[in-house]
Structure 1
């Protein structure tokens, strides 16, 4: 996990150097964050908006959107926990821990989906017999 964060930090430093070399503009960290995060954010917004408009037309749209939102929150939570472990030196900061935590959510959600499908099917069968 530490190696991944260091790699990401190095890539961000490389991008910073490329921006400075390409455009010749020296920006403070705040200015650089403003532009880079702003551009990444608006591009991400349009991609998410387009995908969610497609999902909106599906039968189980609220379930799908709820899953996506919850999964996003879980990713943030898992990495926050791993970073907290690195900062406080309580536990090991490992990417595998984050992956296993997310697998836990996926397995529990799959169990929920199977149970919901079984209940939904039983209800449909009983309503069909009346």
Structure 2
């Protein structure tokens, strides 16, 4: 996992250098590191926001749309959490930073969510059956 994070860090650093050295200097912008972060992160953030906004509006109109949206938000949170824990283990040398640990943690969330879905479906179907029985 350390190698993967190092590879991603190298890609980000090379992209950063490319933008700062080639793009900024060729356009005579003389952007500082803070300026570069402001513009690039602002652009990435607004593009991601607009994408999520469009997808969210589509999902909310679907049956169980809020549940789907909640699942997607929680899944995003869990990805950040499990990788933050693994990175924290590497930084503090308390435990081993392993990609497999992150995957197993996410698998635990998906397993628990599947149990939730089965219980919710059983409750929904029981309630529906009882309503149809008492209407007669």
Q: TM-score range by the shorter chain?
A: over 0.9
Q: How many positions carry a matched residue from both structures?
A: 130
Give the Cα separation in 1 of the matches to 2:32 and 2:106. Answer: 36
Which ranges in structure 2 are unaligned for 5 or more consecutive residues? Answer: none
When the two chains are superposed, the root-mean-square deviation of aligned CA atoms in Å is 1.3
Runs of 4+ in 1 over 4 A off after TM superposition: none
Aligned to 1:40: 44
Q: Deviations over 1:15-40 (max 9, x none)?
A: 12221213315533322221111111
Q: Please, which of 54, 58, 69 is the counterpart of residue 58 of structure 2?
A: 54
- Runs of 5+ in structure 1 lacking a partner? none
Q: Which residue of 2 aligns with 1:66?
A: 70
The C-alpha deviation readout for 1:99-124, integer Å capped at 9, x for no partner, is 11111101110110011101111111
Q: Does residue 23 of structure 1 match 2:24?
A: yes
Aligned to 2:2: 2
Larger RCO (alpha carbons 8 Å, 6+ apart) = 1
In the alignment, what sits opposite 2:105?
101
Match of 2:13 in 1: 13
Aligned mates of 1:83, 1:27 — CA distance in 2: 31
Higher gyration radius (CA) = 2
- Given candidates 116, 120, 123, the residue that maps to 1:116 is 120
- For residues 107 and 85 of structure 1, what CA distance do their matches in structure 2 show? 24
CA distance in 1, matches of 2:72, 2:88: 24
Aligned counterparts of 1:88 and 1:18: Cα–Cα separation in 2: 32
Distance 1:30 1:22, change over 3 A: closer
The TM-score, its normalising length taken from structure 1, stands at: 0.92
